[in-house]
Amino acid sequence: MNNFLEITAFDVTKKIVNNIKLFNNLSIKNAANIFASYYKDTHNKNLIFLGSEIAKDISIIYPEYINPDSICEYNIGAKKGLSLINFNNKDELISILINKTKMNHSQLEHSLCEFSKFVKREDYFNKNKKFLKNWIYVPSSLLLQEKELF
């Protein structure tokens, strides 16, 4: 399975790199749909979340091809973050947050996702007085050192 994922990842990366220069100030949302079509789940459906994350990342590196200030898909974590803010009109809330924070859609989407994870973990901690082990961030460089120690 790992070999399949590595081959697939490299094939898709190659396809993205070869096609990126065909884009001209494409929106993150449109680029995400294109990238998502490169990835299929077991039901042959496009992986929208993955395409969206790739498009947001690439927009930072290649803003001439994908506009980092364009609209993007607000994925499930960001939607949860929005739902934690007591405001009826989500589109109006997004506009207010963008105006107040001076973030673009991609930055706001990411921040809302992290906010929802923070609240979820804070609620869990307040209830159980502990964190789940997989919630504790360990830099990969430390993991590599740890493996070398054993």
Q: Which pTM was predicted?
A: 0.76
* Residues 65 and 23 sit within 8 Å (Cβ to Cβ): yes
Q: pLDDT tens digit string along 10-26?
A: 777 788 888 888 899 99
Q: What DSSP character marks residue 39?
A: -
**How sure is the predictor about 149, in pLDDT bands with cuts at 50, 70 and 90?**
very low
User: What is the predicted pLDDT for the residue at 148?
Assistant: 45
**How sure is the predictor about 64, in pLDDT bands with cuts at 50, 70 and 90?**
very high
In whole angstroms, give the CA distance from residue 70 to residue 58: 13
Q: pLDDT tens digit string along 78-128?
A: 999 999 999 999 999 999 999 999 999 999 999 999 999 999 999 999 999
* Residues 137 and 101 sit within 8 Å (Cβ to Cβ): no
Q: Any idea where the domains of the chain sit in the sequence?
A: 1-72, 74-150
In whole angstroms, give the CA distance from residue 119 to residue 46: 30
Cα 70 to the center of its chain, rounded Å: 15
